[in-house]
């Protein structure tokens, strides 16, 4: 899929309304069914945070995905199923620390080849078990658009039996076999790369580009200025939104929007660019309704369909 040509002086691309119109999202045919619109699998949630996976799931559907499967903690799966009646909900066995056991990889592997996009991370707990699960899922979902969010991004630091050893495995030279998308903010990227948060924040473009090359990943480094970097060094920059988006659950909504767009057939870079812009624009719309402070993360996704129509090519 072609990429927009509005390059900045540093070789990057500013994400604007014009950029997005020139980088149009895949559109299903008028007679397409829900499978044509894309099947999303979201793995996340825990006993203490079932809401995160609900926020991401709702956002994925609002972004236009046609079919949704949620895999979450067995203890809260019935609750999630009632809250999101559009979804198939799979209950996963839990670890003592609130993560998922490796049996989840075998169970979810049955959906490989059926789901067009996979999101792992919203609301998950037990960093070690989560990293191990991610590494077990990656080969099973080869060829699938994969988004890693929240503690699932720890897969770049931990693998194998790391959680059993109670210490991280050295992943200094870890690279994904196929590019996936990671969505860290400055603090998370600093942790994942053993840098100082202030250094990352001081030059987010350099930090995102370096991480993307290091991991063979698309990295969406979130902030007041969000930088999206691809493994080959291409990068995009978005400025917008408001402080109201700095609220619990906002990142879950963003991850859901992105994976929903990826399920529709957008590349990881395109899904990230559009997702970041839609998320920021939703914040701007909500600030008009409620004020800059006080709107809720659950309200973000409802703004997305209208924004998609506004930004669609004429």
- Residue 300 domain-assigned? yes
Could you read off the pLDDT of 42-63 as tens digits, one per residue? 999 999 999 999 999 999 999 9
- CA distance linking residue 58 with residue 85, whole number of Å: 10
- Residue pair 225/238 in contact by the 8 Å Cβ criterion: yes
Q: Look at 29 and 266; give whichever has higher pLDDT.
A: 266
Q: Is the dihedral of CA 48, 52, 55, 58 positive or negative?
A: negative
User: pLDDT confidence of 173, banded at 50, 70, 90?
Assistant: low
Whether 193 has a binding-site annotation, put simply, is no
The CATH number assigned to the domain holding 195 equals 3.40.1190.20
Secondary structure element (H or E) that encloses residue 36, with its range: helix 34-37
Structure tokens that stand for 176 in this block: 């994904």
Q: Which residues pair with 221 in a beta bridge?
A: 227
- Residue 103 domain-assigned? yes
Whether 225 has a binding-site annotation, put simply, is yes
Whether 252 has a binding-site annotation, put simply, is yes
- CA distance linking residue 134 with residue 24, whole number of Å: 31
Whether 222 has a binding-site annotation, put simply, is yes
Task: Encode 257-307 in three state secondary structure.
Answer: HHHHHHHCCCCHHHHHHHHHHHHHHHHHHHHHHHCCCCCCHHHCHHHHHHH
34: CB partners within 8 A, 6+ apart: 66, 67
pLDDT at 162: 42
Pick from 157, 43, 139: nearest CA to 99: 43
pLDDT at 311: 83
pLDDT at 159: 55
Could you read off the pLDDT of 176-215 as tens digits, one per residue? 999 999 999 999 999 999 999 999 999 999 999 999 999 9
Which range marks the domain in which residue 236 is found? 33-160+171-304
Whether 223 has a binding-site annotation, put simply, is yes
pLDDT at 32: 63
Q: Which of 132-141, 168-177, 208-217, 268-277 is predicted least confidently?
A: 168-177
What is the percent of the chain where pLDDT is above 90? 85
pLDDT at 9: 46
Q: Residues 77-84: what's their mean pLDDT?
A: 97
pLDDT at 161: 43
- Residue 18 domain-assigned? no
Assign residue 181 a region (left: φ > 0; alpha: ψ between -120 and 50; beta: otherwise).
Answer: beta
Could you read off the pLDDT of 133-166 as tens digits, one per residue? 999 999 999 999 999 999 999 999 975 444 433 4
- Residue 212 domain-assigned? yes
Assign residue 206 a region (left: φ > 0; alpha: ψ between -120 and 50; beta: otherwise).
Answer: alpha
Structure tokens that stand for 146 in this block: 């994969």
Q: Which of 13-22, 33-42, 261-270 is predicted least confidently?
A: 33-42
Statement: residue 12 has pLDDT above 70:
yes
- Residue 276 domain-assigned? yes
Whether 185 has a binding-site annotation, put simply, is yes
- Residue pair 83/57 in contact by the 8 Å Cβ criterion: no
Q: How many domains does the chain have?
A: 1
Whether 256 has a binding-site annotation, put simply, is no
- Residue 152 domain-assigned? yes
Statement: residue 113 has pLDDT above 80:
yes
- CA distance linking residue 238 with residue 255, whole number of Å: 16
- Residue 111 domain-assigned? yes
What is the DSSP code (8-state) at residue 243?
Answer: G
- Residue 8 domain-assigned? no
């Amino acid at each position: 899929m072609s990429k927009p040509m509005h390059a900045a002086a540093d070789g990057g691309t500013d994400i604007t309304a014009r950029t997005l119109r020139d980088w149009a999202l895949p559109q299903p045919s008028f007679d397409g069914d829900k499978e044509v619109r894309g099947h999303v699998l979201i793995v996340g949630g825990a006993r203490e945070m079932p809401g995160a996976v609900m926020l991401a799931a709702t956002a994925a559907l609002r972004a236009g995905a046609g079919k949704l499967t949620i895999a979450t903690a067995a203890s809260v799966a019935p609750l999630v199923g009632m809250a999101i009646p559009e979804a198939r909900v799979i209950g996963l066995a839990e670890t003592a620390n609130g993560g998922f056991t490796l049996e989840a990889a075998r169970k979810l592997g049955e959906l490989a080849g059926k789901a067009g996009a996979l999101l792992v991370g919203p609301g998950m707990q037990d960093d070690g078990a989560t990293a191990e699960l991610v590494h077990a899922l990656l080969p099973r979902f080869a060829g699938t658009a994969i988004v890693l969010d929240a503690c699932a991004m720890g897969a770049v630091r931990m693998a194998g039996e790391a959680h059993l050893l109670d210490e991280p495995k050295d992943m200094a030279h870890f690279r994904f076999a196929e590019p996936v998308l990671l969505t860290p903010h400055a603090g998370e990227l600093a942790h994942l790369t053993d840098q100082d948060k202030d250094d990352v924040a001081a030059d987010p473009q350099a930090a995102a580009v370096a991480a993307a090359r290091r991991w063979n990943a698309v990295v969406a480094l979130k902030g007041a200025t969000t930088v999206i970097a691809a493994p080959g060094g291409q990068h995009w920059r978005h400025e917008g939104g408001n402080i109201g988006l700095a609220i619990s659950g906002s990142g879950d909504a963003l991850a859901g929007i992105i994976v929903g767009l990826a399920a529709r057939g957008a590349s990881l870079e395109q899904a990230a660019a559009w997702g970041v812009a839609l998320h920021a624009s939703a914040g701007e719309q909500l600030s008009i309704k409620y004020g800059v402070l006080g709107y809720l993360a659950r309200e973000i996704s409802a703004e997305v369909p209208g924004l998609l129509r506004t930004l669609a090519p004429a």
